[in-house]
Amino acid sequence: MIRPLVRWLLVAAGSALLGLVLIALAAYWHFLRSGPEPRAWHETALQDYTAADASEVATLADYWKLEDRLFADLEERVQGRIEAADRTAFNRYNTGSRSDPGIWPVNWNRSFRLEPAAGSAARGIALLLHGLTDAPYSLRSIGEHLAADGFEVVGLRLPGHGTAPSGLVTFRFEDMQAAVRMAMLDLSRQAGPDQPIYLVGYSNGAALAVDYTLSALEDEALPKPAGLVLISPAIGISRLAAIAQLRTGLSSVPGFERAAWQVIQSEFDPYKYNSFSFNAAGETHRLTRRVSSRVLEIAKGGVVEGFPPVLVFLSTVDSTVRAEAVVDALLEHLAPGNHELVLFDVNRYSMVQQLLVNDPGPLTQRLLTMPQRTFGLTVITNLSPETLQVKELRAPPGSGEQVARPLELAWPRTVFSLSHVALPFPPDDPLYGYEPAAVADHVQLGRIEVRGENGVLTLPTWALVRQRSNPFHAYLVERLDAFVESDIGQP
């Protein structure tokens, strides 16, 4: 009597499993055959820098020569060969379109160097590292500010970026590591004896900055940065990103190129890819896991000693990274020092609060109620629920007491929170700002305001709703200045 029952249960379980597999295969097949087809910029493989090139591309001058060849290849093989149907006003690969970066005075997709004012010696060097799918443009405004403040600034284009989304299919985070190491070594050779080098990293670039610094703690041959400025740091991301490391190999089979892509979207942004590959998700997951595991390994149950001062800028709500990871996987493991987290809270104006989900920024409350912290904390939040004006709540390391200071800044009436992508851009940013000077030649994504029926526009909803610039950017710059002033000259 028991054996037939067991046999029936095994058959039922096997049938259920087979059914689930068939459903999964059907869903995957539908995914592969639905949505936009890859275009030339998704499929054209360009010869970018890799870790294997480190011996031949050993200086920034070498790297820029490689970029010259890379962008010439992009112009010939992608921009010069797009189909007539793709010659639209908002395709970045259509030469002369409103989304073409080539119509800007400077193509900020490329690495750049900014010198301090003519005739003055640089008082320091800043290496800027942009985020995943981004370009050096994302830290342009901060770079220009630092240059005006007397710094020599290098904005490094990371491998796989600034050209075509096809680079997201093949790059490895080791290629980015090698590029950062090359830049730091070259800048160290160029630096004067009293010139500190700062690392400024945005999103994925922040993870690379931390990763490099951990290596410098272990290898005396690597120059140690004087300090790190981390903006929306990608110290932890969703664990679901690990699925992206499973590669079927189907993308190399003719007719199945779609298998390489999580999402394919029109490329209307001149300085950021909108399409996203499975490989990119997998590589950033590898990088963030490496950073968090290395922090724990070096700490060895205690704290990481000798880490340079860190200043972090973070939105309490962030749909791209796990905001709390910067505390749990980094700051809490660093030996007490000149480390600080500046947290931008959600808009807690009473009329806005009624539209938000319950406790939209739980990290704010968690940090404000922590009795002990080894790092300083600043929270930018509403002066009261009755006003859009904001205040600074600041607590030094080791103290739960907060000192409040009203700021001459306020939430715009239509903004309910910042976002992962908003922090490095000022309100007057010519591309992402919500109050830029009007221009006639290039697209201004921060000013898009449209109304109509659902499902009519080719633009994705996030491009219309997501906050793209920071109303408190002036405060960010103020704190950046204070940070480099307090730590200038530290080894």
Predicted pLDDT of residue 26: 55
In this structure, the number of other CB atoms found within 10 A of the CB of residue 23 comes to 10
The pLDDT of residue 152: 96
How much is the CA Rg of the chain, to the nearest whole Å? Answer: 24
479 — alpha (psi -120 to 50), left (phi > 0) or beta? alpha
DSSP 12: H
Write the DSSP symbol of residue 76. Answer: H
Q: Which long-range contacts (CB under 8 A, 24 or more apart) does 299-302 make?
A: 299/333
Q: Which residue has the higher pLDDT, 255 or 386?
A: 386
Give CA separation, 479 vs 162, 474, 488, in Å: 29, 9, 14
Whether pLDDT at 245 is above 80: no
More confident residue, 27 or 471: 471
Mean of the per-residue pLDDT values for the chain? 89
| Degrees to nearest 5, angle at CA 471 with 468 and 477 | 105
Q: Are 161 and 180 in contact (CB under 8 A)?
A: no
CA neighbor of 334 nearest in space, from 368, 292, 366 = 292
The one-letter amino acid at 259: A
Residue pair 139/170 in contact (Cβ under 8 Å)? The answer is no
How many distinct helices (H) and strands (E) make up the chain? Answer: 13, 12
338 closest CA partner among 486, 239, 451? 486
Between CA 169 and CA 163 the distance in angstroms is 13
Please tell me whether residue 311 adopts helix, strand or coil conformation.
strand
* Percent of all residues in the chain with a pLDDT value above 70, rounded to a whole number: 88
Interval 284-336: pLDDT, tens: 999 999 999 999 999 987 899 999 999 999 999 999 999 999 999 999 999 99
Helix axes 278-299, 204-218, angle to 10 degrees: 40
Q: Which two tokens stand for residue 37?
A: 């087809």
CA distance to 342, 379, 404, per residue, from 370 (Å) = 15, 13, 17
Among 141, 134, 402, CA closest to 276: 134
Q: What is the pLDDT of residues 360-369, one digit of tens each?
A: 778 999 998 8
pLDDT in the model for residue 256? 54
The 10s digit of each residue's pLDDT in 255-265 is 556 788 999 99
Q: List Cβ neighbours of 16 (8 Å cut-off, separation of 6 or more).
A: none
Question: What is the spatial distance between Cα 158 and Cα 110, in angstroms, rounded to a whole number?
Answer: 9
Residue with tokens 């319950």: 358
Residue 449 is predicted with a pLDDT of 77
- How many CB atoms within 10 Å of residue 116? 18
Residue 37 backbone dihedrals phi, psi, to 5 degrees: -85, 150
335, containing H or E segment: none
Residue 199: its pLDDT value, please?
98
Strand ranges across the sheet with 340-344: 112-114, 151-156, 124-129, 197-202, 227-231, 310-315, 340-344, 376-382, 389-395, 403-410
- Among 98-102, 116-120, 190-194, 211-215, the least confident range: 116-120
Question: Using one digit for the tens of pLDDT, what is the confidence trace for 23-35?
Answer: 555 554 444 555 5
CATH of 30-487, one of 3.30.930.10, 3.90.79.10, 3.40.50.1820, 3.40.50.2000: 3.40.50.1820
Q: Decide: helix, strand or coil at residue 393.
A: strand
**Euclidean distance between CA atoms 172 and 68, whole angstroms:** 21
State both tokens at 213: 């610094």
pLDDT confidence of 455, banded at 50, 70, 90?
confident
d(CA 481, CA 158): 26
Q: Are 374 and 336 in contact (CB under 8 A)?
A: yes
Q: What is the DSSP string of 78-131?
A: TGGG--GGG--TT-TTSTTSTT-GGGSSS-TTS-EEE--STT---SEEEEEE--
The pLDDT score that the predictor gives to residue 221 is: 95
Q: List b or e across 150-183, with b for residues whose CB sees 16 or more CB atoms inside 10 angstroms.
A: ebbbbbbbbbbbbbbbbbbbbbbbbbbbbbbbbb
Q: pLDDT tens-digit profile of 189-217?
A: 999 888 999 999 999 999 999 999 999 99
Residue 420's pLDDT band, with cuts at 50, 70 and 90, is very high
What would the mean pLDDT of 345-367 be, rounded to a whole number? 84
Task: Give the mean pLDDT of 388-406.
Answer: 92
Q: Phi first, then psi: give them for residue 331, nearest 5 degrees.
A: -60, -40
pLDDT for res 119? 66
Helix axes 173-190, 278-299, angle to 10 degrees: 60
Say what the pLDDT of residue 126 is. Answer: 98
DSSP string, 164-227: -TTHHHH--HHHHHHHHHHHHHHHHHHS-TT--EEEEEETHHHHHHHHHHHHHHH-TTSPPPSE
